């Protein structure tokens, strides 16, 4: 059974509310839609499953502040959202 299925079953017995104060995307969002209501902090980032990808290019900001980014990856495309094609 998936967590989503368990949330749906619980929702048949009692009210279920999903809450996020930070990030709720992909799997977290999928689980939350099993609840009767989703409550999110005004500062929370909530996204649907595979519909949009937001990428902030902070490369110049990092450079101005002397921040060096090192990427360690285990797959060829795991850094595809990073600027500069590291």
45-50, long-range: CB < 8 A, 24+ apart = 46/20, 50/26
Sign of the torsion angle spanned by Cα atoms 4, 7, 11, 15 = negative
Candidates 2, 26, 41, 48; catalytic one: 26
41 labelled catalytic: no
- Active site members: 26
């Amino acid at each position: 059974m998936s967590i989503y299925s368990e949330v749906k079953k619980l929702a048949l017995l009692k009210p279920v509310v999903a809450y996020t104060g930070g990030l709720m995307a992909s799997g977290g969002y999928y689980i939350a839609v099993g609840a009767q209501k989703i409550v999110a902090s005004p500062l929370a980032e909530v996204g649907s499953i595979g519909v949009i990808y937001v990428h902030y290019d902070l490369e110049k900001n990092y450079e101005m502040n002397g921040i060096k980014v090192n990427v360690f990856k285990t797959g060829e495309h795991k850094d595809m959202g990073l600027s500069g094609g590291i």
